[in-house]
Amino acid sequence: MKIKTLVKRLGKEFPLSLAESWDNVGLLVGDEDREITKVQISLDATEKVIDHAIETGANLIITHHPLIFTGLKNITSKNFMGRKMIKLIENKIAVYSMHTNLDIGNGGLNEYITSKLGVETSKILDEKKDGNNISLGGIGRVFNLSKQMKLGEYLLIIKEKLGLESVRVVGEMDKKIKKIAIVNGSGASYLDKVKKINVDLFITGDIKYHEGLDATEMGIALFDIGHYESEHFFTEIIEKYCYDLDVEVYNDKPIFSNI
């Protein structure tokens, strides 16, 4: 199968047009007419990830986070981005990135992580629609528990369902919660939106001190489950679309450790 054939398959489910205007998605490196030898699915295209693709003979890396976000002024071995680009080009490895188009799309990452929590019915937090007012998906999901629960009780459920060793928490453990919103990745910019719909608990990643302080004053509890920890499931989504190819899932270790 050629790279462009798989790209077309993925694009049909998660069109590049769904991506946010600031994002950079699609085929970022490589020749789409090249035959696929092996697909490697990785959250980020780190140098370690690229080296692993070289070692295992993969010539297509599908990532969630784009390899290239800003303009490159040079590509040399004197900086880490240049080294990565040189390795990819010299070893004829393509990189295809699916970021906010995968977050937004129906069946994408926001929907998938919600299903991992055992939630069957949810609403989209920030919906995206086409010209005919038909939903294309969106960022975040909002759902209600079947009954009120203490924050500390739900924390144990979250850790078990998502396989988390630790969670950063804002809020009292005996706070009663029922309405919950979740945004994978960095979702602090949605604090005002979840406040307007009276959410009791907001689950996301990359929460900063002042954002936690704002949430406290808004009366919203927070679970910061980590950026990596909320998005590494991306590999499980993509893997099922590569059913007829040689596929390997490989992620570099999380950036942060709780010691």
**Which DSSP string corresponds to the chain?**
-BHHHHHHHHHHHS-GGGS-TT---EEEES-TTSBPS-EEEESS--HHHHHHHHHHT--EEEESS-S--S--S---TTSHHHHHHHHHHHTT-EEEE-SHHHHHBTTSHHHHHHHHTT----EEEEEEE-TTS-EEEEEEEEEEEEEEEEHHHHHHHHHHHHT-S--EEES-TT-EEEEEEEEEEE-GGGHHHHHHTT-SEEEEE---HHHHHHHHHHT-EEEE--HHHHHTTHHHHHHGGGTTS-EEE--PPPS----
**Which DSSP string corresponds to 108-151?**
SHHHHHHHHTT----EEEEEEE-TTS-EEEEEEEEEEEEEEEEH
Identify the burial level of 180 via C-beta atoms within 10 angstroms of its C-beta, where 0-12 means exposed, 13-18 middle and 19 or more buried.
buried
Q: What is the pLDDT of residue 254?
A: 83
Q: What is the pLDDT of residue 255?
A: 83
Q: What is the pLDDT of residue 155?
A: 98
Q: What is the pLDDT of residue 253?
A: 82
The angle at the Cα of 164, spanning 161 to 170, to the nearest 5 degrees, equals 100
CB 27 within 8 A of CB 59: no
- Two structure tokens written together for 110: 């926001």
Q: What is the pLDDT of residue 183?
A: 97
What structural domains and CATH numbers belong to the chain?
Answer: 3-99 (3.40.1390.30), 105-227 (3.40.1390.30)
The amino acid at 217: E
What are 132-178's pLDDT values in tens digits? Answer: 998 899 999 999 999 999 999 999 999 999 999 999 999 999 999 99
Average pLDDT over residues 15-33: 96
**Cα–Cα separations (whole angstroms), residue 239 to 136, 209, 243, 248:** 22, 36, 7, 9
> Which of 80 and 62 is assigned the larger pLDDT?
62
Tell me the whole-structure pTM to 2 decimals.
0.94
CB 52 within 8 A of CB 59: no
What are 232-241's pLDDT values in tens digits? Answer: 999 999 999 9
Tell me: pLDDT of 258 over 90: no
Average pLDDT over residues 44-62: 97
Q: What is the pLDDT of residue 221?
A: 98
Tell me: pLDDT of 228 over 90: yes
Instruction: Tell me the percentage of the chain whose pLDDT exceeds 90.
Output: 89
